[in-house]
Amino acid sequence: MTEITGIILCGGRGSRLGGADKPLRLWRGHTLVARLAERLRPQVSALLISANRNIDAYRRLAPVVADELPPYQGPLAGIAAALRRCATPLALVCPGDAPLVPLDLAERLRAALEAHPTDSSPLVAVAHDEVRRHPLHCLLRTEAIDSLDRHLASGHRSALGWLDSVGAVDVQFRGQEEAFRNFNSRQDFMDTPAPAMEKPP
């Protein structure tokens, strides 16, 4: 995947865990963000981390990009800042507190983008597990930055709203709800089995 940069979103407040920096929480001996990075590296040519605190800790895994807007404006602000650093035409976005992503995520999202004629090709492909859409698990063309900048400049912060505005295409990952689950409670850190690292069939 030489034309894809991975963007890991770690710029949130962690309000569901009392302000903890969730991606740096330990799970089975490793941080969530380290486990996610392990699953993404075979799928991308480079990694960036969007973060607004604990920068040194995140730099141990990949270069860090801070928000250009005032911090904590939401994940779209982090995506926009990271897109400006991408040297590839495509960017794979994942939240840093979701360490179970599919090992073929980039491949399947990219196939959806390339399945359309050039003159009508969508800017974004987004994962859908048949139950719900996962707006922060997506593959973007880097030229999507123009639309994203306009969305943010108009005061909008909704990722779902932006995806709808650009006609993002959904990619079905049937039966894989667990793969896209965010770790939001202490129970998540206790009972979830470790993810397999085998290559997808």
pLDDT digits (tens, 9 = 90+) for 56-84: 999 999 999 998 887 678 899 999 999 99
Beta partners for 169?
125
**Closest to 149 in 3D by CA, of 134, 136, 162, 168:** 162
Looking at the chain, the number of H-run helices and the number of E-run strands are 7, 9
pLDDT tens per residue across span 161-174: 999 999 999 999 99
Stretch (H or E) spanning 6: strand 4-9
Distance CA 16, CA 106 (A): 28
Distance CA 92, CA 44 (A): 8
| pLDDT band (50, 70, 90) for residue 201 | very low
Residue 11: per-residue pLDDT: 82
- Judge whether residue 12 has pLDDT over 90: no
Residue 14: per-residue pLDDT: 60
Mean pLDDT of the chain: 87
Query: Which one of 3.90.110.10, 3.90.550.10, 3.40.50.2000, 3.30.470.20 gives the CATH number of domain 4-184?
Result: 3.90.550.10
From 92-96, 107-111, 118-122, 163-167, the region with the lowest mean pLDDT? 118-122
Total residue count of the chain as it appears in this document: 201
- Judge whether residue 1 has pLDDT over 90: no
Residues above pLDDT 70, as percent of the chain? 85
Question: Interior CA angle at 33 toward 5 and 170, to 5°?
Answer: 55
Q: Which residues lie closer than 8 Å to 118 by C-beta, 6 or more apart?
A: none
**Closest to 188 in 3D by CA, of 9, 35, 74, 56:** 35
- Judge whether residue 199 has pLDDT over 60: no
Distance CA 172, CA 130 (A): 6
When computed from its CA atoms, the radius of gyration of the chain, rounded to whole angstroms, is 16
- Judge whether residue 117 has pLDDT over 70: no
